[in-house]
A and B are shown apart, each in its own frame.
Chain A
Amino acid sequence: MGLFALEGVGVATERGQVLHDVTAEIPARGVTVLVGPSGAGKSTMLRLCNRLEVATTGRVLFHGEDVVTIDPLALRRRAGMVFQRPTLFGGTVRDNLAVALPGADDATYAAALGRAELPSTFLDCPADEISGGEAQRVCVARTLVTDPEVLLMDEPTAALDERPRFALERLARHFADEGVPVVWVTHQLDQMRRLADHLLVVIAGRVRYAGEVGALDSHGDPEVSAFVGGAR
């Protein structure tokens, strides 16, 4: 059984149909990369997993259970999300971590920072005075405070330079190796090749390829070939 399963999922918004009858599975280990051109529906697929978005048709399963039957607040703590831009709240880094887990002791917060490869001295830093790469890692730490079973990462390096980008990729790999699966959205093929254990190629609201990265180039779908070739 997969970690997440989408069964005939369609999503319609006032902008039109974002996803069309998507059936796909996200395995319970490693790094799964959702790749595709901008506006293909990758982020929507990710947001379905923690119910920031709901399916218009079909259903989304988490460990075989329909997400609409799970308390959304509990689901979001089990499936932690990191967004495209580092979104820190006011106050210090400690205040930020306390939003996720109010009233915890500094040792707990420091442990979360440590998992995101940040020193505990960061706890007293004003959140608006740290660099973009560090801010994104604070966001990762803030998500880790709730001890999630899976990390959903929505183009988390889009706003970062090369060095912090690679650092965050290494971190994702580390989490997956530790047993916390990662679902990573990107439109960059080089990043996809560095990270993916499992791959879903999303084009125009449909999953056109699901499988290993190695088998991608020999895949016969012309749209997938055009995307992989054109974006290279």
Chain B
Amino acid sequence: MIDTDVTGAGVALSLLLVAVAIALSWWQRLGLQRPLAWASVRAVVQLVVVGTALTIVIDEGSPPALWWTWVVVMVLFAAETVHRRAPEVPSARWLALSAYGAASAVTLGVLFGLGVFPLEGRTLVPLSGMMVGNSMNATVLVARRIVEELRDKRPEVEARLALGQPSREAARPYVRAALRTALTPQIETTRAVGLVFLPGAMTGLILAGVEPVDAVLVQVVVMYLVLGAVATTTVTVAVGLARRLFTSDHRLVRLPRPADA
């Protein structure tokens, strides 16, 4: 595996690619030179810090409490990110927390409970990261879409309520549309895998010298993990949010339209 190790000089040379991006931005007068440079520097710093911390956490002698603390912090951070990216969604932070709680129970339960992977820091931490990171976009998307649908289709929703439909039933067509929108890209990605692109985990393993067939097996499990996590988080958020947007006497709460950016 030694021949695929990247040296410091290698990293420095790869900066040439950032320079290309900056040069293109300058040439096309995009004004993105500074953000590009800043993002590249920031990414290095963040990854070095995380890499160092990971070395400690996934070390063979590290205590399980440390692994789980890492997972909890990651989930808290993700919930905070969902809240920040979807400010118009009421209780977004709590909904995201419960969604990641449910997704953790389901995905980690299957992977470790059924012995697909041995429960170690080396497996728990990266798999949790895949679970949380990959379901964040879909979680934000579904939450925003549900609020938008129920706000824009208020007359339809109220017409359903006025016919005596319970709120859960009245919201169902709109919740379903939002869930389909959020889940479809993940299904598309899963379908195109291998043909259109090589996924990150597999690429990483192959670069690190693992046999492609072994890398594929890991990738398949990671892909199913992501699919399961996206489905669990989006459905948990959708069900919780649909409940949160109606009162107990089946009225749709007021959903003010945010100011145009």
Contact = CB atoms under 8 A, between A and B. Distances in A.
A146 B251 contact: no
B163 A142 contact: yes
Interface string B148-191: 00000001101111111110000001000000000000000000
B250 interface: yes
A123 to B, nearest CB: 17
Interface string A22-53: 00000000000000000000000000001111
Nearest to B156: A87
Given A51-B251, A54-B251, A73 B166 contact: yes
B5 interface: no
B160 A14 contact: no
A99 B251 contact: no
B60 interface: no
B158 A83 contact: yes
A80 interface: yes
Contacts of A143: 162-163
B164 A52 contact: no
A100 interface: yes
A115 interface: no
Contacts of B159: 83, 87, 89, 139
A72 B158 contact: no
B29 interface: no
Interface in B204-261: 249-251, 254
Contacts of B250: 72-73
B153 to A, nearest CB: 9
A43 B156 CA distance: 17
A36 B208 CA distance: 76
B254 A13 contact: yes
Interface size of A as a range: 20 to 34
A26 B162 CA distance: 20
Contacts of B173: 89-90
Contacts of B162: 50, 52, 76, 80-81, 83, 143
A11 B66 CA distance: 54
Nearest to A87: B159
A125 B250 CA distance: 30
A99 B165 contact: yes
A174 interface: no
Contact of A99 (B158, B160, B166, B249): B160
Interface string A76-93: 110011010101011000
A118 to B, nearest CB: 18
A74 interface: yes
Contact of B249 (A51, A100, A139, A146): A51
A52 B173 CA distance: 20
A73 B248 CA distance: 11
A146 B164 contact: yes
B163 A14 contact: no
Interface in A83-123: 83, 85, 87, 89-90, 99-100
Contacts of A13: 254
Contact of A52 (B158, B165, B166, B254): B158
A142 B164 CA distance: 12
Contacts of B164: 73-74, 76-77, 100, 146
A87 B249 contact: no
Contacts of A83: 155, 158-159, 162
Nearest to B170: A99
8 contacts: A52-B162, A72-B250, A80-B162, A87-B155, A89-B159, A139-B159, A146-B163, A146-B164
Interface of B: 155-156, 158-166, 173, 249-251, 254
Given A53-B251, A99-B160, A99-B163, 7 more contacts: A52-B161, A68-B249, A76-B161, A89-B159, A99-B165, A100-B164, A146-B164
Shortest Cβ-Cβ A-B pairs, 7 listed: A77-B164, A81-B162, A87-B159, A100-B163, A76-B164, A73-B164, A72-B249
